[in-house]
Chains A and B, each alone.
Chain A
Amino acid sequence: MNEQDQWEFENRRINVSALPDMMDVELTQISPRYRVVNLSITAAVVIILVAILSFLRFQTFMVVPFNLNAFYPAIVTGVCSLGGLNLIYHFFADKKIKYCLREQDLVMQQGLFLRKIACQPILRIQHIELKRGPVERSVDLATLQVFSAGGSLHTFEIPGLRLNDAQRIRQYILSHKELNAK
């Protein structure tokens, strides 16, 4: 019982207003290249799709069944407008992805219409993964994934980090755990 009293006493002394607030952290933006990459990928996909469609429309050595040619303008408009929306979204939303590595946790903020701030205490991290797709590798970016016991739905993922930064964050987290979690 004695132990418990002590613990409660300690706990009571935490002054909540003096604690750091996760909504009030100075956040750094992820690499601006991430947005450029997303914009160019979207543009490339739209261009390739339109090119394929145009080829099918204007080629002469095959008959397109069901008179599908009539839908060509509609489909191209659809593809272009979806691509355009996507471009606009990435243009504004990618700038909003920000993160911060604090002594005890990782904070990330994202979202254009629905702002989402997530905070992952380093103590609860199970393992870490660096992911680099072909495009990311060509521009020296990496995605840092942090897994906790909260399940795969809540994997904490910071995209568009410079490889160096990502590696440094990983190193910090790994050495942090050895100091504190053991």
Chain B
Amino acid sequence: MDKIEQPGSSSATTRISVATGNRWRRLAPIAVLYFIASNIKSMVQNALYIIPALAISAQSTGILQTRWFFPVLAALLVLMIGSGLISYLFYQFRVRNGHVEIRMGLLRRRHINLPFWRIQNIKVERPFYYRLTQFAVVILDTAGSAKEEAKIVAVTRQYAARLRAEILSERNEFLQTSDNSQTAPDASVSKPADQSSDKEDRVINRRSVKDLVIHGITNNRVWIVLGAMAPFYDDLARLVGEWLEQQGLQLEQLAGSASVAWWQWGLYAFTIIMIIMAAMALFSVGGSLLTYYGYTLTRSGDRYIRKSGLLSQQEVSMRQSRVQMVAVKQDWLDRILRRANIFFEQNKTGNQQGQELMAPNKLLVPSVTLSQASALCEEVLPSSQPFSRDFSPITGFYLVHMIGVRVLPILCFLLVVLGWQGQWQAMAVALGAATVLSGVIWLRFRCWGFARDKNYLYVRSGIVGKDYQILPLYKIQQVVIQQSIMMRRRKLATIRLILASGTVSIPFLTQKQISYLSRVALAEVEVSAKSWM
């Protein structure tokens, strides 16, 4: 272990001292502890649901007295210690030429190769059993995902600190060179902003209470309130019951008596649904005000900062260069009120599947008017104009596929089964539902399309309201083209453009369009060689 620390290393010579040379290094023996601990952790996590069962059987059947209990326990222990030892013996790493390389695993060998300048985040952790020693765990995050992180399990603290310093400096160097040489269009735009930031931060958008009320009505924000009220559910239910009783309405009586006619029932149900809907809308407005009260979006330097909140003010900030895509989302209520929600989407780290409107990788501007939406798009992605474009539609085979292959077979099957049993009413319902569904598919087909200008790809989708996705093609991570056998025969394909913020897909385009899009996208990435961050 100590071989890593070369004598005479000082801060001036970190470049040399971090490298371990060509030879593979083994970890310090204390790493065995770490492997055993992580084995125990994963076993406990996996077996958590068995523990109650075990506890009960221990009480009722005296599992502790059986003669195999302790042998099994001992075997488990031996297994875990053995596997920790094996993990240790089969783990090797080396650091050289600005790369971290790790080889690990007995049965499934993994060989990880991680360049310094791709490392997004570096953590140095010290589990409690390392406290008395000089060792630490170095956790290296790439932009990939939380699961794919690499760990150097036991190195000295000094080495960990030096490695961190080295990786961070390498990364800064990389970012600087790429910023200077590769992001010319961004730079020219951000310059005026930089100047203004010397004086003060520029406010880009504010949301008034009226906007937030609209936002509350068009977007269901009930869950914010519901979450906050969770501790009081029982009391609330009792209160509602008492209130209804006072009004002379007794649910038990109602349900039990046969004297109430069906239309009275219907009326009751209708009234109750209306009351619930009104309450939901009211709650939703409350929730919207709670989170977004005093919403301001400011630009300070190359950052966007969102401040909002009634009780506790939240602040979220996002660098302009990190925005991978701008999404304008509008559902049918938004369409009627001529509003839209705007999302600035950035790299999602890990696989946190949060509530869409609260996801940490998205910055939301709630319920803006369409002219504001267009101004915001232009602000974040300079000279982008999603609303005044001619969109090339997707081909009609989308309709044929969705209705012919997805809806019709299910409908036919249902009709045959229901017809067999003579349930005519149900058949009518099925037919009606299929018609509505086909209508929705048709609306979706009408809306779906893409357009392109010098800098951006625009994708429009939606059913009644229109959603727009605006992305600079050079930020694409991967291009995927999919074709079923039928599509291949008709020279059609679906394209998926994978960004760090998620996937944008356009279905059922002609092969010509697909080949055009994929060529342009790949050329934007590979020829411009601009950084996506």
Q: Do A and B bind each other?
A: yes
Q: Is B518 touching A23 in the complex (CB atoms < 8 A)?
A: yes
A111 to B493 CA separation, bound complex (whole angstroms): 14
Contact present for A21 and B519 (CB under 8 Å): yes
Answer yes or no: A74 CB below 8 A from chain B CBs. Answer: no
Quick check: is A124 within 8 A (CB to CB) of the other chain?
Answer: yes
* A67 contacts B by Cβ under 8 Å: no
In this complex, the member of B145, B478, B527 whose beta carbon has the largest number of chain A beta carbons within 10 angstroms is B478
A117 contacts the other chain (CB 8 A): yes
**Are A123 and B511 in contact (CB-based, < 8 A)?**
no
Q: In whole angstroms, how far apart are the Cα atoms of A148 and B479 in the complex?
A: 12
Whole-angstrom distance between the Cβ of B165 and the nearest chain A Cβ: 19
Highest count of chain A CB atoms <10 Å: which of B144, B483, B529? B144
Q: Does B417 sit within 8 A of A, measured CB to CB?
A: no
**Which segment of B28-36, B103-111, B335-343 sits at the interface?**
B103-111
Any A CB within 8 A of the CB of B357: no
Task: Note all chain A residues with C-beta closer than 8 A to B520.
Answer: 14, 16, 19
Secondary structure at the B interface, as helix, strand, loop or mixed, is: mixed
Residue A180 CB within 8 A of the other chain:
yes
- A149-B526 contact, Cβ under 8 Å, with A4-B184, A127-B115: no
| B411 in contact (CB, < 8 A) | no
**Separation of A116 and B142 alpha carbons in the complex (Å):** 26
Chain A residues, Cβ within 8 Å of B189: 4
Chain B 313-335 interface 0/1 with A at a Cβ cutoff of 8 Å (1 = within): 00000000000000000000000
CB distance from B166 to the nearest CB of A (A): 15
Expressed in whole angstroms, the minimum distance between the Cβ of B103 and any Cβ of chain A is: 9
Of B114, B187, B482, the residue contacting A127 (CB under 8 A) is: B114
Q: Which residues of B contact A170 (CB under 8 A)?
A: 113
Chain A: CB-nearest residue to B177: A182
A23 adjacent to B144 (CB under 8 Å)? no
Q: Shortest CB–CB separation between residue B526 and chain A, in angstroms?
A: 4
Inter-chain contact A148/B144, CB cutoff 8 Å: yes
Is B110 within 8 A of A123, CB to CB? no
A131 touches B110 (CB 8 A): yes
Is B480's beta carbon under 8 Å from chain A?
yes
- The one of B117, B142, B174, B516 in contact with A16, judged by C-beta atoms closer than 8 angstroms, is B516
**Smallest beta-carbon distance A173→chain B, Å:** 9
* B526 nearest in chain A by CB position: A104
Flag if B526 contacts A127 (CB, 8 Å).
Answer: no
Q: CA of A14 to CA of B473 in the docked complex: distance in angstroms?
A: 14
B276 close to A (CB within 8 Å): no
| Chain B residues, CB < 8 A from A4 | 184-185, 188-189
- Rounded to whole angstroms, the CA-CA distance of A115 and B174 in the bound complex is 38
Q: Of residues 159 to 182 in A, which have CB atoms within 8 Å of B's CB atoms?
A: 170, 174, 177-178, 180-182
Cα–Cα, bound, A46→B454 (Å): 56
Q: Using Cβ atoms and an 8 Å threshold, which residues of chain B touch A14?
A: 520, 523, 527
Question: Interface range on chain B: under 10, 10 to 19, 20 to 34, or 35 or more?
Answer: 35 or more
Q: List residues of B (49-82) whose CB comes within 8 Å of A's CBs.
A: none
Residues of A near B526 (CB, < 8 A) are 104-105, 121, 123
Residue interface bits B333-361, CB-to-A below 8 A is 1, else 0: 00000000000000110010000000000
* Main SS at interface, chain A: mixed
In the complex, chain A residues whose CB is within 8 Å of the CB of B174: 181-182
The answer to whether A23 and B454 touch (CB under 8 A), given A119-B478, A148-B477, is no
Among the 9-residue stretches A5-13, A58-66, A75-83, A84-92, the one with 4 or more Cβ atoms under 8 Å from chain B is A5-13
- Cα separation A182 to B115 with both chains bound (whole Å): 11
Beta-carbon contact of B142 and A120 below 8 Å? no
Nearest-neighbor residue (CB-CB) of B498 within chain A: A150
For the side of the interface on A, what is the size category?
35 or more
State in angstroms the CA–CA spacing of A84 and B281 once bound together.
56
Closest to A174 in B: B113
Q: Which residues of A contact B532 (CB under 8 A)?
A: 124, 149
Contact between A132 and B108 (Cβ–Cβ < 8 Å)? Answer: yes
Interface flag for A147 (CB, 8 Å): yes
Q: Taking the complex as formed, is A68 at the interface, i.e. its CB lies under 8 A from any CB of chain B?
A: no
Interface residues of B in 220-258 (CB under 8 A from A): none
Contact A147 B522 (CB under 8 A): no
Q: Which residues of A contact B22 (CB under 8 A)?
A: none
In the complex, the answer to whether B479 meets A119 with C-beta atoms within 8 Å is: yes
Verify A132–B109 contact, CB threshold 8 A: yes
Residues 484-524 of B at the A interface (beta carbon under 8 Å): 484-485, 488, 493, 498-500, 503, 511, 514-516, 518-520, 522-523
Instruction: Give A8 to B528 CA distance when docked, in angstroms.
Output: 11
- Nearest-Cβ distance from residue A147 to partner chain B, whole angstroms: 4
B483 touching A115, Cβ below 8 Å: yes
Partner of A123, one of B111, B484, B515, B529: B529
Q: CB distance B108 to A115 under 8 Å?
A: no
CB distance from A122 to the nearest CB of B (A): 8
Which residues of A lie under 8 Å from residue B144 when comparing CB positions? 126-127, 147-149, 151-152, 155
A-B contact sample (12 more), CB < 8 A, given A118-B479, A121-B522, A151-B498: A3-B184, A20-B522, A23-B481, A121-B476, A121-B478, A123-B525, A126-B118, A131-B109, A132-B109, A149-B532, A150-B477, A154-B480
Using CB atoms and an 8 Å cutoff, list the residues of chain B in contact with chain A. Answer: 97-99, 107-115, 117-118, 142-145, 147-148, 150, 174, 177, 184-185, 187-189, 347-348, 351, 454-455, 476-485, 488, 493, 498-500, 503, 511, 514-516, 518-520, 522-523, 525-529, 532
Q: Which 10 pairs, one residue from A and one from B, show the smallest C-beta to C-beta distance? A: A149-B143, A149-B500, A150-B477, A150-B498, A104-B526, A147-B144, A19-B519, A130-B111, A152-B145, A148-B477
23 A-B residue pairings within 8 Å (CB atoms): A4-B184, A16-B516, A22-B518, A105-B526, A115-B488, A116-B482, A116-B483, A117-B480, A118-B481, A120-B478, A123-B526, A133-B107, A148-B144, A148-B498, A154-B477, A154-B478, A155-B148, A156-B478, A170-B113, A177-B115, A181-B174, A182-B117, A182-B174
